[in-house]
Amino acid sequence: MLPKHLISDFGIIQGYTGLYLDLFTEFEGLIENLFIGILSGTVTPNNASIKRKLTIKPVSEIESVLLGEMRTYLNWLPYPDQTIKRANIYFDGGKPFTLLNDIEKSKNKYPRRKRTGY
């Protein structure tokens, strides 16, 4: 660790804030990669009950279909409002995204933020 005088408390908070935001960005990326992978067929689920409602061809158009004309980014959080809603459109029963229990779903509902006074 660096000596205290080389990095301020504010710098430490900024570092942790960046890590926190990166965590949520990576988590959303994980959800998106899984979603698109299953929808495109490049990811094969182990659970036979996971079935696509439709096939989008060419596969290169999946992101365009999901985004629509006016969006450049897909929101995956809050999980129940974004991911599950979207999963119910494209997968039977929204599976695998609806297989989480209610406690797991509520944990992913909103990113948590603790006020630091800065």
User: What's the chain's length in residues?
Assistant: 118
Q: Are 108 and 97 in contact (CB under 8 A)?
A: no
Q: How far apart are CA 22 and CA 14, in angstroms?
A: 12
Q: Are 47 and 96 in contact (CB under 8 A)?
A: yes
Average pLDDT of span 75-83: 92
Q: How far apart are CA 54 and CA 87, in angstroms?
A: 12
**Where is 85: in which H helix or E strand?**
helix 85-90
Give this prediction's pTM.
0.78
What single letter denotes the amino acid at residue 57? K
pLDDT at 101: 75
pLDDT 10s digits, 30-75: 999 999 999 999 999 999 999 999 999 999 999 999 998 888 889 9
